[in-house]
Structure 1
Amino acid sequence: MVSISTFIRWYFFELDHRTNLILACISTVVITSSILFFRRLYAHFDKTMPYDSGIVRRLILQIVIMFIFVSIISQGILYATTHFFKIAKVNYLVKYEFTQLAKIAGYMTQALFVILLNVAHFTYYSLQKWRESALRASNLEKEKSQVQFDNLKNQLNPHFLFNSLTSLDSLIQENPPLARDFLQQLSKVFRYVLKNKEKGLVSLETELTFIKHYVSLLKTRFGESLQVAYVIADDTLDLQITPVTLQILIENAIKHNIINENNPLTIHIKSEGNTLIIENNIQRKKQVETSNGQGLINLRTLYNFLSNRGIVINTDEDVFSVKIPLI
């Protein structure tokens, strides 16, 4: 901005310390004021004439305004330097040649400075918009996954509810005491879902308490054909997990595998460090109930947002396993 006056001051004229100090102060004030002015101006343009509405038009307008502004300020400082301060005179030829060269060099420097500054501003603006768009997309994807997962929690599988009520009906006639116990377990299961449906995370200890009630209900239907074993380290009980994660995984194992006295299904739930591992033996059904695998997909998507480790699913000939990060 002050390229002409600075060049004159330092190269052609010998100014005293006081004059140099005054000019330095004036330059500082001018530059600071200019920065504040253009910040406000560009903020106004962002609202009234965003780049999205016309990049070329916006850039040209900014460059023209800034170039005129910089030229006026530079000429003002040049005038102040040569007229208001007592400086040594130079001969006419040198003065004339310098003036012409300085004007050309000054305008070229100012034009380059203005263009680069506006390109830098556009780059910064574009980067900020890209970050905002990426953040919005990420939040929308997270909200979508959370809604889908909440739907899974709210469903708690209608087939499970139907089967539970059918079992309860049989127990009421055959074994009333067991029916009462069954009903208590069922109420605990649904109380847990209602209580934690708004929560993103619960402690592993809380989830395990729920899943034991849930397994008790399943065993009323499957008896000893369904076995669930727990090996959980005490120091992991306070770590967190998304509610009904284990219910979804156990239901998935039941849906895809044969369960009877000759082919019992065994599910192992164990902790390893800050990871929870759920394993079951594979004995696939020939025909599986309608399933699109959405439960596991939603679960995986949700944990990708909650943890940088995510869910790991492994399948070999005999064992299906899912590793859940504890948070």
Structure 2
Amino acid sequence: MTESAIETAGLSKSYGDKVVLDGVDLQVAEGTIFSLLGPNGAGKTTMVQILSTLIRADGGQVRVAGHDVAREPDAVRAAIGVTGQFSAVDNLLTGEENLRLMADLHHLPRAEGRRRVAALLEEWDLVDAAGKMAAAYSGGMRRRLDIAMTLVGDPRIIFLDEPTTGLDPRSRRAMWRIVRSLAARGVTIFLTTQYLEEADQLADRIALLDHGRLIAEGTPQELKRLVPGGHIRLTFADPDALRSAMAALGTGSLDEDALTLRIPSDGGVRSMRDLFARLDHLSIEVEAMSVHTPDLDDVFLTLTGRPDKEPQR
């Protein structure tokens, strides 16, 4: 298997007669944001538990941060951080005390631990709240503290399990900025989320898991192209240009009142370049253009056959 942050080959896991993971092959590049999606019971939580050394796989190869998960679990744990859906923050401690506790658990020297805690409080905008009990923190502050606690050990890979559940839209977008900033500094993010828009906004690559198997993987744009219905809408200045475009392209649906032509397309750069080259060759001017592609909700529903609003675990 090639070098990457996370690799699995033939990963399998069963509980009795129930197959939870069925020969999963996966690669996650270093310094990227990777999102794992899937309906209830798809096997996402089991996969994260295996990757983070919480449970053992039944079969296959699993490497995290270059280490074999089964043979080198301590080395894997030293390289990763895990932020679960439910906060690990201790409400009876202040924000600073929570961070110092993590520094002690990582066996950092006292001076190094204090330096690291001070830097994280500053970085995650928690200095003013450092002396307050965590029970008084807002949802967004608790999430920032939770991730800061994960970062005390300076992990190379972070598993984020539904990091924005329960947050308001402003706090959710603030969390997106945090995730992007972590990836920008070279940290690999393995993200599970129940918000398909979140995966669309953040992930470099997305994998869709269903009944223990990966049924699709790619960039958000690549996945959207798997679902029919994409099109380009062209608007023209006058009916003559509209009819000329229709005749030249030989396809599409006209709306003569709106002076628009709707043409099936995957929204890819090559298809749009070819389209405009044909129009330009005939000196047909386009006044406006918009690209319409299916979203991840459409992909999820089409490929799994289940409502996309179903909570994903």
Q: TM-score, normalised by structure 1?
A: 0.23
Q: Which one scores higher on RCO, CA 8 angstroms, separation ≥ 6?
A: 2
Q: Give the structure with the larger helix fraction.
A: 1
Q: TM-score, normalised by structure 2?
A: 0.23
Larger radius of gyration: 1
